[in-house]
Amino acid sequence: MRAAVHADYGLPEEVIAVAAAPLPVLKPKQVLVRMCAAGVNWADQSMTLGEPLLMRLGYGFRRPRAGIRGMEVAGVIEAVGVKVTDWKAGDEVIGWGTGTFAEFVAIDAKRLVAKSEALTFDRAAGLPVAGCTALQAMRDVAKVQPGDQVLVVGASGGIGSFAVQIAKAMGAEVTGVCSTPNIESVRSLGADRVIDYTDRDFTEEDRKYDAILDIADKHSLSERRSALKAKGTIIPNSGEGGRWLGSIGRILKARIISPFVSHRLRPFLSVTKRADVAALVDMAVAGTLTPVVGVTYPLDQAGEAVAEAGSGHARGKVILTA
């Protein structure tokens, strides 16, 4: 099969190349999925660069251990392992695991959800990572209530475009922050207000929020807190930081300060769960969620796709297609 492999850490366009790779060998509880579309995430760029360096303890110090990137897929089941009873060849599925930037990928059967016909493969492929992150941030961390004022900083990107729609579906009044070219896109997702960060600064406005999801904010924590209501929640979700620790320093700072202030400072790590992916599919079927696909790349251009997803300015999801 063809797969986007990288043997060294480095810039995605330089180290990722499409090459022949062996077909994955199925374990008894896995299924072989023929990739139709694969979501590309910020983390794919981090893992390709090998940064933050701390991450290399898990992924290989000098060279990446897993040479095929990719964490999520939408595709068609080609074959099932001997112990798989609930899926069959031909089923259209959404899955998550490793090595999805390839024509075929082996996925644990319990990490699959049926793809509805209401979703195209490219719209379905971004649900497991960005979709679940947005859902868990709004529902579990911010605990958004009807009428809440919610600010999404980074509203036009992968996570933000889901978060705006999910917060609206939960009854919140949503303000999105993005740059000039993306204003209309964020408005079309249902945002009540859009702030162009190249023109206005949300920390200098009088409006206060119950929850702020910060995906790309450049303000200090205290500046961001000034835009929160007294018991408001901030979810620092940005990957900015030094070469060694990345965002960990920023996240630790929020954790340390949190017990001493009235605001809830809640950095979190999303975990893709079957029930949550299924809930997102249900929202898409009901018409309350339309995953935004900003750009698709063929598998041959996986390096460019990874660089785009890591640029910090992707519109909606970046998707690879077979």
Ligand X SMILES: NC(=O)c1ccc[n+]([C@@H]2O[C@H](COP(=O)([O-])OP(=O)(O)OC[C@H]3O[C@@H](n4cnc5c(N)ncnc54)[C@H](OP(=O)(O)O)[C@@H]3O)[C@@H](O)[C@H]2O)c1
Determine, following the binding rule CB under 6 A, whether residue 239 of this chain makes contact with ligand X: yes
Which residue in 48, 100, 149, 270 binds ligand X (CB under 6 A)? 270
Stretch that binds ligand X, among 11-19, 30-38, 165-173, 308-316 (CB under 6 A): 308-316
Residues 83-142 that bind ligand X (CB under 6 A): 129-130, 133
Determine, following the binding rule CB under 6 A, whether residue 30 of this chain makes contact with ligand X: no
Determine, following the binding rule CB under 6 A, whether residue 194 of this chain makes contact with ligand X: no
Max Cα-Cα span within the chain: 61
Stretch that binds ligand X, among 8-16, 67-75, 85-93, 174-182 (CB under 6 A): 174-182
- Could you give the CA distance from residue 17 to residue 69 in angstroms, rounded to a whole number? 11
Which residue in 39, 52, 97, 160 binds ligand X (CB under 6 A)? 160
- Could you give the CA distance from residue 251 to residue 242 in angstroms, rounded to a whole number? 12
- Could you give the CA distance from residue 192 to residue 204 in angstroms, rounded to a whole number? 19
Cβ neighbors of 185 (< 8 A, separation 6 or more) are 156, 161, 178, 292, 315, 316
Based on CB atoms, which residue is closest to ligand X, 104 or 162? 162
Q: Are 162 and 135 in contact (CB under 8 A)?
A: yes
Determine, following the binding rule CB under 6 A, whether residue 45 of this chain makes contact with ligand X: no
Based on CB atoms, which residue is closest to ligand X, 102 or 130? 130
Based on CB atoms, which residue is closest to ligand X, 3 or 183? 183
Determine, following the binding rule CB under 6 A, whether residue 42 of this chain makes contact with ligand X: yes
Which residue in 128, 131, 158, 303 binds ligand X (CB under 6 A)? 158
Which residue in 23, 27, 197, 257 binds ligand X (CB under 6 A)? 197
Based on CB atoms, which residue is closest to ligand X, 149 or 238? 238
Determine, following the binding rule CB under 6 A, whether residue 312 of this chain makes contact with ligand X: yes
* C-alpha separations of 316 from 20, 123, 128, 312 in Å: 30, 10, 14, 11
Based on CB atoms, which residue is closest to ligand X, 115 or 266? 266
- Could you give the CA distance from residue 97 to residue 93 in angstroms, rounded to a whole number? 13
Q: Can you spell out the DSSP letters for 9-75?
A: -S-HHHH-EEEE-PPPPPPTTEEEEEEEEEEE-HHHHHHHHT-SGGGHHHH-SSS-SS-B--SEEEE
- Could you give the CA distance from residue 151 to residue 137 in angstroms, rounded to a whole number? 12
Q: Can you spell out the DSSP letters for 56-116?
A: HHHH-SSS-SS-B--SEEEEEEEEE-TT--S--TT-EEEEESS--SBSEEEEEGGGEEEPP
Based on CB atoms, which residue is closest to ligand X, 81 or 241? 241
Q: Judged by CB under 6 A, how many residues of this single chain contact ligand X?
A: 30
Residues 201-220 that bind ligand X (CB under 6 A): 215-218
Determine, following the binding rule CB under 6 A, whether residue 59 of this chain makes contact with ligand X: no
Determine, following the binding rule CB under 6 A, whether residue 52 of this chain makes contact with ligand X: no
Count Cα atoms within 13 angstroms, Cβ side, for 179. Answer: 9
Q: Are 75 and 121 in contact (CB under 8 A)?
A: yes
Residue 152 beta carbon to ligand X: minimum distance, rounded to whole angstroms = 9
Stretch that binds ligand X, among 49-57, 117-125, 171-179, 254-262 (CB under 6 A): 171-179
Residues that bind ligand X (CB under 6 A): 42, 129-130, 133, 153-160, 177-179, 182, 197, 215-218, 237-239, 268-270, 312-314
